[in-house]
Structure formats: C-alpha cells, structure tokens
Structure 1
C-alpha cells in the first residue's frame, strides 16, 4: 500500500483494495474465473437461503441495476442461481450454486491466508488492534459541522 491517502476513509479504502487485489490475483492464479469487486460484494452479502436483488443493493449501497448486472454475470458463470421466493410469488431470490459455494469457500480460505501474511508483515499486536478497532461498536454515524 502506498499510504498516499490523507484521511481515515481513504486509508480504509486503500486497505480494502490491497485485500481485493491479493484475493483476486490469488484466485485467478489458482485457476478460478475472474470476478469484479461488485461481484465479490454480492457473494459477501448473500444469505444462505438467498437474498433479493433489492436487498443486496441496499446492503452494498448501490443501485438495483448495478447489483442486477453483477448477479447476472455470476449466474452466467454458474456461481449463482435465481429461484422463486417461497414467501412471495412476486420475488426471486439469488443464491449460490454448488460451484458458487465451492468458490466462496476457497475465497474465504484465501482471505485467511492473506490475513496471516498481513499479520506477519505488521505484527500480531497491530493486526489484533486493527481487528478490534474495526469490530468495535462505533454507534450511529455522527452528524457534525466542520469548524
């Protein structure tokens, strides 16, 4: 990471890109199909029983059209499927296929290895402090006025 960023949101974004770059390159090197950041976000936020496109869009913070495009790319790759929602005839759920579950589990295992590399590089105490800070309850986002 270059640390050109001046504020915490930029640093967090840069750190996320570092993890994504490592994950995507590692998965492709292992022979997996390449995915986009949007597609990876869909996988990260899917419920086991399936999730609607609208709910995925809300969780990711993007438009339904963006999620729809990512989902249909993943359906085309055989990693997701669209099924009727048993609770509503009008809704469809997006869920992983068996192949999608295999790829997701491999990605999760790869992330653990990437985290261990980070721990080796920055040390166990800073890695633990980073995890503790990111998993702490930050409360509701504040409404502030700049001086």
Structure 2
C-alpha cells in the first residue's frame, strides 16, 4: 500500500523509492520484486539513463493505487470525524515534516537499559 502511494506516475528508481519510503534499497527491491510478480508494477529501462531502471505502475497497479488512495482517504475522513479536521490537518503536517533519514532517527534512540 505504501509503495503504491509513493510511486509517481512517471515512475521512479528503486533507490528513489527506498528514499521516499524510508527503507533500505534491498527492502525496496524486494517489495518491487513482489509487486512485479503480482502484476502491479513493471521495471523498465530508464530512457534518461542507460544504467538505471524505472519502476512503473501497470494498468492493474493504477487500479490498485486508486483503491489504496480511496482507503487512505476514508481512514483520514473517519479520523477527522472523531478528532476534527483541524487536528487531522495538524497531525498530517507534523507527520510530513522533515524528520531526517530513518537511520539518523534510529541512531538518536536510546539503547536498551543495562542490567
């Protein structure tokens, strides 16, 4: 669901998807591989770079992304009904803020307590 919502219509490299999703390139590669097997995305040569590949939505993927976005919009509307539209707007702004890389955020977490 997350990968489909973050894949631009013009496609993206696996490295770009990994950055957008905040995951490692191998994780993004595995997800793309699974979505290719499911017929949701295709991987094609990037016309701008001979060394790069683009991940693109298939027709089935475009339908699935539309369904995914409807589900997310429904969840957001239900949340707004419970806590108010202004609160949801503030929550979205906070979550979409510049948090830095997942690696830097993880590095700032305290370690396990010492016995």
Q: 1:115 aligns with which of 52, 72, 76?
A: 76
The offset of 1:128, in angstroms, is 3.7
- Distance in 1 between residues matched to 2:22 and 2:94, nearest whole Å: 22
Give a deviation string over 1:16-46, Cα, whole Å, max 9, x none.
xxxxxxxxxxxxxxxxxxxxxxxx3322221
Aligned residues: 101
Unaligned runs of 5+ in 2: 102-115
- Distance in 2 between residues matched to 1:61 and 1:132, nearest whole Å: 17
Q: 2:57 aligns with which of 96, 99, 119?
A: 96
Give the CA RMSD over aligned residues: 2.4
Aligned equivalent of 1:124: 85
Aligned equivalent of 1:49: 10
Aligned equivalent of 1:71: 32
- Change beyond 3 A, Cα 1:46–1:119: same
- Distance in 2 between residues matched to 1:139 and 1:58, nearest whole Å: 13
Give a deviation string over 1:50-97, Cα, whole Å, max 9, x none.
111122122223222111110010001110001111011221100100
Higher relative contact order (CA 8 A, sep 6+): 2
- Distance in 2 between residues matched to 1:57 and 1:132, nearest whole Å: 22
- Change beyond 3 A, Cα 1:126–1:42: closer
- Change beyond 3 A, Cα 1:140–1:55: closer
Aligned equivalent of 1:9: none
Unaligned runs of 5+ in 1: 1-39, 142-147
